[in-house]
Homo-oligomer: A and B are copies of this chain.
């Protein structure tokens, strides 16, 4: 986990939250579909996790989005 808040990770977290909420999904529902821990979804959304591309790809595909959608604005 990242100690200080990184602006790139924060932007990705905001993108994820926006797309997830727009899709009507809960963190639990998304985590279940993406087969990752709910707390990890929360950490990514809060910008305190440093996800790999393949984790972002799994999350994006569950939201019918692309990795580039999650990284927009970085």
Chain A positions near chain B (C-beta within 8 angstroms): 2, 6, 8-9, 12, 50-54, 56-57, 66-68, 71-74
Query: What is the CB-to-nearest-CB distance from A58 to chain B, in angstroms, rounded to a whole number?
Result: 10
Q: Which residues of B contact A8 (CB under 8 A)?
A: 53-54, 57, 67
In the complex, the chain B residue whose C-beta lies closest to that of A12 is B53
Which of B2, B54, B66, B71 is the one whose CB lies under 8 Å from A50? Answer: B54
Query: What is the CB-to-nearest-CB distance from A67 to chain B, in angstroms, rounded to a whole number?
Result: 4
The distance in angstroms between the C-alpha atoms of A9 and B53, with both chains bound, is 8
Q: Are A68 and B57 in contact (CB under 8 A)?
A: no
Q: List 13 A-B contacts (CB under 8 A).
A: A6-B54, A6-B57, A8-B67, A50-B53, A50-B54, A51-B53, A52-B52, A53-B53, A53-B74, A66-B74, A68-B71, A68-B73, A71-B71
